Amino acid sequence: MRLAVNQDNCSGCRTCELVCALENFRENNPKMSRLRIHGEFPAPGKYRVSHCTQCGTCQEVCPVDAIEETGGGYYRVLEDECIGCMACVEECPEGVVFTHDAIDVPFMCNGCGSCVEICPRNAIYDADDPGRTRYKEFEEVD
């Protein structure tokens, strides 16, 4: 799965942040989400989804090789090897390598797809399978 975003569809509901934290950390805490919704107000007056683009910068800058690429093209921090230098957090061009006081090491999107399945406006979708959404377009009924 490759996450993709149609920014124009995002309403800022932040359901994706909540389901991500629940799926990955079993916490009702959107600050533990592996993606972020940003309100850009008053101008341009819309929401923006920040998500991992799998660029690999985090892995490149890690001084102890504590970030590995998973089979699905995503990256993960090896908890036992991470020294907590935060180079990955500082250098991420998308700003989507996160930290949280309750978690010992930085974290990023793992491609679980929970955000894709729950997004009520199909703002987040699977670029490899654009039809994989929980909510289908409504057909007009005569």
Return the pLDDT at 85: 97
Tens-of-pLDDT digits for all 142 residues of the chain? 889 999 999 999 999 999 999 999 999 999 999 999 999 999 899 999 999 999 999 999 999 999 999 988 899 999 999 999 999 999 999 999 999 999 999 999 999 999 999 999 999 999 988 776 655 554 444 4
Q: What is the predicted pLDDT for the residue at 142? A: 47
Residue 132: what pLDDT? 65
pLDDT of residue 68: 97
Domains in the chain, please, with CATH?
1-51+109-126 (3.30.70.20), 54-107 (3.30.70.20)
Strand (E) positions, the chain?
3-5, 36-40, 46-50, 67-69, 75-77, 98-100, 103-107, 124-126
Q: What is the maximal distance between C-alpha atoms in the chain? A: 62
Can you give the pLDDT at residue 26? 97
